[in-house]
Amino acid sequence: MNINPIVSPKWLLARMYEPDLVIVDCRFVLGSPESGKAAYAVSHIPGAVFLDIEEDLSAPVGTHGGRHPLPEPLELAARLGRAGISSASRVVAYDDQGGLYAARLWWLLRWLGHDDVYVMDEGFAAWQAGGFPVTDVTRTVVPASFVPDVRGDMLADVGEIRRALGDPGVLLVDSRDASRYAGEQEPIDAKAGHIPGAINRFWKGVLDDQGAWLAEPQLREQLAPVIRALDDGREAIVYCGSGVSACPNVLALHRLGYPQAKLYAGSWSDWISYSDNHIASGEEE
């Protein structure tokens, strides 16, 4: 199992032309969906392909499933194959948001049974700041065959979350910022608050002030309540607004040796799509 999926720009620079390596640009800006693709067209890591969070790595939005619904596994596998990712590929993803969107691809690939996937630390800005090569040339992609082997135990749905309410054996972890968790503001979704019983661990807490991933001792401190729960044999289910920003917390737990943490993929935007689901506010830690 790939315990440390974070790699440095120098690590990638040394391997970027190896034939089994596929580099994926996952840049995206919420509320400006074309900006990532436009940034890729201007400048990207040589050889990188572009995958869009909404067009490629999510299903169309429906009544339920949240703002970034999970794609069907076979459809996602086909899209990955068209991007040149095979079942034998090593994949390195990057973005310019501290790994927020790259971690979504990391999680999706692992969900499909593919472990050889990494996130580049610090993102494209660090690559540029290091003086490493960039290009505006789009790679010619040779389609590949990606055969999924879905790991259903990585995923939680709304029914599992409902059953978890009041269950001392399950810890719910909200990855949004503290004000959204507390219900003080909600700039994106239709209702404010959090799932009852959830604790808050903002996903950016896994990064330092420069946007680099924390070292393991600091990660353990940031995620201490979750680690205690897992060490006690409890289950941890991580969520956010739409199943994207929870992925860095899931990745951090994986890095620390806790791959059993689940993702509630629909997250808050799915939870509030059911009118009978309860909503909490304030602090619960």
Residue 235 has pLDDT above 80, yes or no: yes
pLDDT of residue 285: 66
What tokens were used for 268?
A: 């808050």
CATH superfamily label, 152-271: Rhodanese-like domain (3.40.250.10)
Task: Specify whether the CB–CB gap between 47 and 17 falls below 8 A.
Answer: yes
The pTM for the full model equals 0.96
Using one digit for the tens of pLDDT, what is the confidence trace for 170-194?
A: 999 999 999 999 999 999 999 999 9
Name the least confident of 33-37, 47-51, 246-250.
Answer: 33-37
Which residues of the chain form beta strands (DSSP E)? 6-7, 21-25, 49-50, 90-94, 117-120, 155-156, 170-174, 199-200, 235-239, 262-264
| Active-site residue set | 240
Using one digit for the tens of pLDDT, what is the confidence trace for 92-150?
A: 999 999 999 999 999 999 999 999 999 999 999 999 999 999 999 998 999 999 999 99
What tokens were used for 63?
A: 């009544």
- Within the chain, all domains assigned CATH 3.40.250.10 are found at 6-129, 152-271
The continuous run of DSSP H or E covering 81 comes out as: helix 73-82
Mean pLDDT estimate for the chain: 96
User: What number is the average pLDDT over the span 227-248?
Assistant: 98
- DSSP code, position 137: P
Residue 1 has pLDDT above 50, yes or no: no
**What DSSP letter does each residue of 39-77 carry, written as one string?**
HHHH-B-TT-EE--TTTTSSPPP-SSS-SSPPPPHHHHH
Architecture category of domain 6-129 in CATH: 3-Layer(aba) Sandwich (3.40)
Residue 30 has pLDDT above 60, yes or no: yes
Angle between helices 247-255 and 224-231 (to 10 degrees): 60
Instruction: Tell me the pLDDT band of 33, cut-offs 50, 70 and 90.
Output: confident
Residue 19 backbone dihedrals phi, psi, to 5 degrees: -65, -25
Express as a percent the part of the chain with pLDDT over 90.
95
Nearest to 27 by CA among 38, 17, 12, 11: 38
User: What number is the average pLDDT over the span 52-72?
Assistant: 97
pLDDT of residue 10: 97
Residue 274 has pLDDT above 60, yes or no: yes
- Distance separating alpha carbons of residues 189 and 180, to the nearest angstrom: 10
